[in-house]
Amino acid sequence: MRGLCFWTKPWSAYFGLVLCCVACSGSSSGGGATANVLTEDPHCPSGSDALKIEGTIAGGTIADTRTTNINAGYENIGMPMFNTGPTLGQPGDSELTLTLTWANALFNGQAGPITGGSLTLPPNHPDAGAQFCVTGGEVGFVDGGSEDKAFKFAITDVKAGADCSGAASSVDVRGCLQ
């Protein structure tokens, strides 16, 4: 059984609900349950209420882990997107500001390509405040196991500048939200 979910962290924290439209058919397009993004680090175990973003970009390390004041969420229908923001107006030392979009709703167990996005490097990065547009990667939703229903992503391509006008930069950033 597969579910099509949309959810934001602050809403679910108060009501404890995840709204899902459940489809009982099996065929999956867009990556399937074996897509690497669904099994790679970092891991967000079910029930953990955590956002984890790890990796490197532009020669600096990203290590953003939030277990309180997560301030992140996604919508998986209509105009699918995921975004994070600073927890209290100004980003904490390690908090990455990130938006990702993908073309179509994904079922649990499916992954699909990132179609766009933006990120702003956190204060503790050597290039603090630098903006990049996200030009490649993958998003998906875990189906079953210890990370059941976790949202996961891998950013593999970025260009400098919020408008994508700059040069490509080295990036390997992965994350999850539970």
Q: List per-block mean pLDDT (blocks of 10 residues) for the chain, which spans 178 residues.
A: 41 34 34 68 93 96 92 94 79 91 97 97 95 97 96 98 95 97
Query: In this structure, is the dihedral angle defined by the CA atoms of residues 62, 68, 72 and 73, taken in order, positive or negative?
Result: positive
Q: What are the phi and psi torsion angles at 130 (to 5°)? A: -65, 140
Instruction: Say which residue the tokens 């179609």 belong to.
Output: 115
- Count the neighbouring beta carbons within 10 Å of the beta carbon of residue 125: 21
State pTM to two decimals.
Answer: 0.80
CB neighbourhood size of 111 (10 A): 24
pLDDT for 86 equals 66
Helix or strand (DSSP H, E) at 177? strand 171-177
Strand partners, 22: 3
Per-residue tokens: 97: 């500001």
In this structure, which long-range contacts are made by residues 15-18, counting pairs with CB atoms below 8 Å and at least 24 apart in sequence? 18/149
Q: What is the DSSP letter of 114?
A: E
68 CB neighbour count, 10 Å cutoff: 8
Say what the pLDDT of residue 4 is. Answer: 41
